[in-house]
Amino acid sequence: MDRSRTKRDLVAFVPAERIERRILLVRRHTVMLDSDLAALYGVTTGNLNKAVTRNLRRFPLDFMFQLGREEYRSLRFQIGILEKGRHSKYLPRVFTEQGVAMLSSVLNSERAVQVNIAIMRAFVRLRELLAAHKHLARRLEKLEKRHDAQFKIVFALFRKLMAGRRRVGGRPIGFLAGAH
């Protein structure tokens, strides 16, 4: 069996969209839930967390943290991804991009390595999208400042229309019902 083909097949097995949908924003960090990671790695959430607990020194707070009760409730309510009772005994852990990278050294399997590659690519793609969004927002702001005077005229006309004036520049505006 061709080993390189097997690796490519495994990475293709986990579609990027599936990973991207599971990246969340919590405490201003892009993170993934322990249960979502466990599903991608093909292990139970309990086994993933056991492996992490055995190697806690590899996971400082900027790599992994546990959600508080309110964060957990809010996440369940807002996104609707967590089923009631799934994490009833323990609050879920979330892993930042660096924490996910560290998981590959803790979960020692070929699948874990390949899934990590796919997850890292998803985080990079997300960063690129966010950077492009910021760039577009800056360009729009520059355009608004440059064309502000021209748009003031348009806004003045809108204000006149909203004030109920029926004539702009001596001409009636709108259309008359029944006129052909």
pLDDT by position in tens, the chain (length 180): 445 444 444 444 667 788 888 888 888 888 999 999 999 998 999 999 999 999 999 999 999 999 999 888 887 776 665 555 554 578 999 999 999 989 988 887 888 888 888 888 888 888 888 777 777 767 767 766 666 666 667 666 766 766 654 555 566 555 555 655
Alpha carbon distance 18, 15 (integer Å): 5
Q: Give the model's pLDDT for residue 125.
A: 86
Q: Give the model's pLDDT for residue 87.
A: 47
Both 145 and 71 in a single domain? Answer: no
Is 170 part of any domain? no
Both 66 and 154 in a single domain? Answer: no
Both 20 and 108 in a single domain? Answer: yes
Both 119 and 80 in a single domain? Answer: yes
Is 44 part of any domain? yes
Alpha carbon distance 57, 170 (integer Å): 77
Both 148 and 64 in a single domain? Answer: no
Q: Give the model's pLDDT for residue 21.
A: 83
Both 41 and 59 in a single domain? Answer: yes
Distance from the first to the final alpha carbon of the chain: 77
Is 109 part of any domain? yes
Q: Are 34 and 96 in contact (CB under 8 A)?
A: no
Is 176 part of any domain? no
Find where tokens 């086994």 sit.
47
Tokens of 66: 């546990």
Is 101 part of any domain? yes
Both 73 and 21 in a single domain? Answer: yes
Q: Give the model's pLDDT for residue 130.
A: 76
Is 114 part of any domain? yes
Query: What is the pTM assigned to this prediction?
Result: 0.63
Both 39 and 127 in a single domain? Answer: yes
Structural domains counted in the chain: 2
Structural domain boundaries enclosing 153: 139-165
How many Cα atoms sit within 13 Å of 4 on the Cβ side?
A: 0
Q: Are 118 and 18 in contact (CB under 8 A)?
A: no
Q: Give the model's pLDDT for residue 158.
A: 65
Q: Shortest CA distance to 81 belongs to which of 33, 39, 118, 42?
A: 33
Q: Give the model's pLDDT for residue 99.
A: 94
Both 96 and 146 in a single domain? Answer: no
